[in-house]
Amino acid sequence: MKSSDGMRPDPSPDGDPWADIRDGVRKLCARFPGSYWQVLDRDRMYPEAFVAALTEAGYLACLIPEKYGGAGLPVAAAVAVLEEIHRSGGNGAACHAQMYMMGALLRHGSEAQKQRYLPDVAAGKLRLQAFGVTEPNAGSDTLGLQTRADRDGDSYVINGQKIWTSRAEHSDLMLLLARTAPADSVAKRTDGLSLFLVDMAEALQAGLTIRPIRTMLNHATTEVFFKDLRIPSTARIGEDGKGFRYILDGMNAERILVAAECIGDARFFIDRAVAYAGERVVFGRPIGQNQGVQFPIARAYAETEAADLMVQRAARRFDSALSCGPESNMAKLLAADASWHAAECCLQTHGGFGFAEEYDIERKFRETRLYQVAPVSTNLILGYIGQHVLGLPRSY
Ligand SMILES: Cc1cc2nc3c(=O)[nH]c(=O)nc-3n(C[C@H](O)[C@H](O)[C@H](O)COP(=O)(O)OP(=O)(O)OC[C@H]3O[C@@H](n4cnc5c(N)ncnc54)[C@H](O)[C@@H]3O)c2cc1C
C-alpha cells in the first residue's frame, strides 16, 4: 500500500493519526481468526497466507522510503500495525523483522546495494528477515561472538554457528554479524565485527546448513552452521569492522516494535478477561463482580496504558531522530511486563478454560512469555538502565 492509499496520518476524532491503518489491519486480521493460528501452532507451520496478505497490503514495507517503493512512514505507523496484529490474537513475529531489518541496509548500505535490494523487499519479492547475531557460546554477550568471516581476495569465507536465527527457512537474505578481526587485535571491543547480507539460496548450496529448533511457541526459529561459506566482498554492508555499531542503530527500532506487539498482546488478554469475567456466572453472579477477579484485570489495564505511553514516547523520539536508547529499552521492559501480567490474569480469570486450545489464551500466554527473554532479556535492559541512565557501575 502506498501513502496515497490511506496510510498517511489522518487525524481521527480521538486524535490517533494511525486510525486508518489500525482499521485496515483489524479488517485484514479478521480473515485470520483463532482457528487459523491454532492449526499452525499445533503443526508448527509458518503463516504463509497471513504474511502474503500483509505483504500485499503493503504493511511490511511501511518503513521503506517511497523512493525505494515503500510507504515511507515513521516507526509510529509500524507500531500501530504490529499492535493491532497482536491485539487481534495473531502474531507478527513471523514477519516483523521484514519491517525493521532493512534499516541497516538503508542507513549503512551503498546506493548500489539499496537499489539492488530495497525495491524487491518493498514489493515482497525478496524476504529480508533472518538476523544472525546470537551464538551458543556468547549469548547476551554479543561482542563475544566467534563466527569468523576471513577476507580472501574478493571474498569472505565464513565459518561458525548461530543459534535462534528465526525465519531462516523463510528468508531470501540473512543479515549476518561476523568477526573480521580477532577480539584481541582490536583497540575497542566493539570493533572487529562486520555486517553482511547473505543470499540464502546461494549459501545453502555452498556451506550453509539450517536446522529448525522446536520451541514452546510457533516461531520458525533455527540454528545455522557455516562451513567455508564463500560470499563476495560486495555482500558487506558499510565498513569492515564497524558492524556492531550498525546493528546497535537498528536495535532501538526493534525494541520499540516488539514493545508494540506486547501492548497488542496485553490488550488482547485484557479484552478477553473483561468479556469472560462479565459473562461467566459462578455462585449466582458474574465472576468479575468479585474484587479478587476484577482488580488484577484493572491493574493489568493501568500497567498497559502506562507502558503504551512509553512506547509512544520512544517512537516519537526515534521518528524525530532524537536519541532514544533509554526510552526504547524502557518501552520494551514495561510493555513486556504489562503483557506478561495481563496474560497471567487472563489465564487465571478463565479458570480451566484458559488451558483449552480453542480459547487462544494458552497459545498467546506461551507466545508473550518470549518477550521477557528475546530480543533482549529483561535483566540486560535493567543493566543498561543502571549503567547508562543512572550512572551505576557496569554490571555486564
Ligand atoms: C524464540 C527465539 C527467537 C529468537 N530469535 C533470534 C533471532 O532471530 N536472531 C538472533 O540473533 N537471536 C534471536 N534470539 C536470541 C535472543 O536474542 C536471546 O535468547 C536473548 O538475547 C538471550 O540470550 P541467551 O538466550 O543466550 O541467554 P544468556 O545470555 O545465556 O542468558 C541467560 C539468562 O541469564 C541472564 N543473564 C546473562 N547475563 C547476565 C548478567 N550479566 N546480569 C544479569 N543477568 C544475566 C539473562 O537475562 C537470561 O535470563 C531468539 C531467541 C528465542 C528464544
User: CA 377 to CA 336: how far, in whole Å?
Assistant: 10
Grid cell of 6 as nine digits: 490511506
Per 3-state DSSP, the chain is made up of helix, strand and coil in percentages (nearest 5) of: 55, 15, 30
Domain 3-123 part of CATH 1.10.540.10: yes
Q: What is the pLDDT of residue 368?
A: 98
Of 105, 106, 81, 88, whose CA–CA distance to 24 is shortest? 81
The CA 152 to ligand 1 mean position distance, Å, reads 32
Of 279, 270, 289, 283, whose CA–CA distance to 348 is shortest? 270
User: CA 132 to CA 116: how far, in whole Å?
Assistant: 21
DSSP 242: B
Can you give the pLDDT of all 396 residues of the chain as single tens digits? 444 455 555 445 568 999 999 999 999 999 999 999 999 999 999 999 999 999 999 999 999 999 999 999 999 999 999 999 999 999 999 999 999 999 999 999 999 999 999 999 999 999 999 999 999 999 999 999 999 999 999 999 999 999 999 999 999 999 999 999 999 999 999 999 999 999 999 999 999 999 999 999 999 999 999 999 999 999 999 999 999 999 987 899 999 999 999 999 999 999 999 999 999 999 999 999 999 999 999 999 999 999 999 999 999 999 999 999 999 999 999 999 999 999 999 999 999 999 999 999 999 999 999 999 999 999 999 999 999 999 999 998
The CA 115 to ligand 1 mean position distance, Å, reads 34
Mutational pocket test of ligand 1: of 131, 145, 164, 213, the residue with most ligand atoms within 8 Å of the beta carbon: 164
**Atom nearest to 140 CA in ligand 1:** 29
> What value, to the nearest 5°, has the Cα angle with vertex 30 and ends 271 and 372?
50
Q: Which residue's CA is minimally distant from atom 43 of ligand 1?
A: 379
Count of CB atoms within 10 A of residue 54's CB?
27
Q: Which residue's CA is minimally distant from atom 22 of ligand 1?
A: 140
End-to-end Cα separation, the chain, in angstroms: 43
Q: Are 103 and 255 in contact (CB under 8 A)?
A: no
Q: Is the fold of 3-123 the same as that of 128-243?
A: no
**b/e code 222-254 from CB counts within 10 Å (16+ = b):** bbbbbeebebeeebbbbebbbbbebbeebbbbb
User: CA 231 to CA 175: how far, in whole Å?
Assistant: 13
Q: Which of the four CATH numbers 3.40.980.10, 1.20.1440.230, 3.50.50.60, 1.20.140.10 does domain 245-389 have?
A: 1.20.140.10
The CA 159 to ligand 1 mean position distance, Å, reads 22
The CA 166 to ligand 1 mean position distance, Å, reads 13
User: CA 220 to CA 82: how far, in whole Å?
Assistant: 18
Q: What is the pLDDT of residue 272?
A: 98
Class of domain 128-243: mainly beta
Of 147, 169, 268, whose CA–CA distance to 214 is shortest? 169
Q: What is the pLDDT of residue 55?
A: 97
The pTM of the full predicted model, rounded to 2 decimals, is 0.96
Go through the chain and tell me how many residues it has: 396
User: CA 88 to CA 26: how far, in whole Å?
Assistant: 7
Indicate the domain borders of the chain. Answer: 3-123, 128-243, 245-389
Q: What is the pLDDT of residue 380?
A: 97
Q: Are 170 and 46 in contact (CB under 8 A)?
A: yes
Of 139, 163, 145, whose CA–CA distance to 221 is shortest? 163
The CA 248 to ligand 1 mean position distance, Å, reads 16
User: CA 313 to CA 134: how far, in whole Å?
Assistant: 28
Grid cell of 363 as nine digits: 497459545
Mutational pocket test of ligand 1: of 332, 376, 377, the residue with most ligand atoms within 8 Å of the beta carbon: 377
User: CA 154 to CA 195: how far, in whole Å?
Assistant: 16
